[in-house]
Amino acid sequence: GLYGAIQPADSVSLSTRTHGAVFNLEYSPDGSVLTVACEQTEVLLFDPISSKHIKTLSEAHEDCVNNIRFLDNRLFATCSDDTTIALWDLRKLNTKVCTLHGHTSWVKNIEYDTNTRLLVTSGFDGNVIIWDTNRCTEDGCPHKKFFHTRFLMRMRLTPDCSKMLISTSSGYLLILHDLDLNKSLEVGSYPILRARRTTSSSDITSSGSSGPRAVGSPCHQNNSGPLSEKTLSRPSQREGGSPRNSLEVLTPEVPGERDRGNCITSLQLHPKGWATLLRCSSNTDDQEWTCVYEFQEGAPVRPVSPRCSLRLTHCIEEANVGRGYIKELCFSPDGRMISSPHGFGIRLLGFDAHCSELVDCLPREASPLREIRSLYSHNDVVLTTKFSPTHCQIASGCLSGRVSLYQPKF
């Protein structure tokens, strides 16, 4: 009911017009601060309740700021096309806590394991790097390369940090099961499950491979070629359960794209770990889809008849505007709704008309997401949107740099 009454509430008061496009938004865990990652080296901070400007980090990086991640209510990390990650403290924003060097290309994604206090980053160099924030100094943090894959787009950890998901521009989705971040991975050091297309309800029990796109894995080491079919088909389970860091290689099913291929541009996880949310675009860039895939937990995968761990449950076609720009979508804090950039606005989507829990309305076959509400307050293509973790509020940012807030009005 609250989100049904939501309306454009305000545009945050920007102190500068030089920040460029808004690439990402992030609330602090307590909802007291909204941070904005900008195209032109800046990070903006606002009070989302009053819409008042708090601070502009005018030279947060030397290139585009791509992503922001809070480690707790005060410490947050930013990453950039300048290949670095910066740590910041809300109590002392005049200087960085430290700058982290280790990537060799644009850094696009930051995750954080609250159990081990390890920071996890990924970039267009194909590397996933682990940073030990327990031993952070002004000179940086100890780090190590954890994983590498070609065409890497986004990397996410499930809420319990038991899995790592990696999407690629070549249409693959990689899942590392039973995750152990303390163990660096090289090809040959982890079991690989056979690559295949994600299942729909009608073919959950099928055991064939996914066709020509699943013949090879996108993972490689030292610029060698793709792993062979023989490597992908080798036994992947030890007796008694799944090994740590076992890799599953999937080609997610996207409506209308079975023979055309797609690029997975945005990747998010359900807050309860039940599903993954993908934004996919066709290789010809003339179609975009938002898709939800349920995690199928159960019997161990067998090398003779691999069981895909994801199933397409819901999808919807998106407005094909702003070609070439990545649109970042998100789940609501309770996981019942999705906020998705849609042209010059956002759409609120539900699994059914009543915004039920996903587990209470799983369809037998992939069903359309239901449009709950459309909200338009921008004059340019919306690139990112985010729910507040504590208030009934949604933020969105667009290509021309405007940030809009949405709140219930009665």
Residue 257 is predicted with a pLDDT of 56
Residue 208 is predicted with a pLDDT of 29
Domain boundaries, the chain: 2-187+245-408
Residue 325 is predicted with a pLDDT of 87
Burial 271-297 (b: 16+ CB within 10 A, else e): bebbbbbbbbbbeeeebbbbbbbbbee
202 three-class SS: helix
Residue 17 is predicted with a pLDDT of 61
Residue 328 is predicted with a pLDDT of 95
214's tokens:
């699943």
Residue 300 is predicted with a pLDDT of 47
Which stretches of the chain score pLDDT less than 50?
15, 187-188, 194, 200-241, 299-306
* CATH fold for the domain made of 2-187+245-408: Methylamine Dehydrogenase; Chain H (2.130.10)
DSSP class per residue in 233-281: TS---BTTBPPTTEEEEEE---TT-TTT-EEEEEEEE-TTSSEEEEEEE
| Beta carbons within 10 angstroms of residue 73's beta carbon | 13
Residue 327: partners with Cβ closer than 8 Å, 6 or more residues away? 265, 266, 279, 288, 318, 340, 341, 382, 383, 384
- Give the torsion through C-alpha atoms of 366, 368, 372, 375, to 10 deg: 120
Residue 26 is predicted with a pLDDT of 97
Residue 339 is predicted with a pLDDT of 97
Q: Model pTM?
A: 0.84
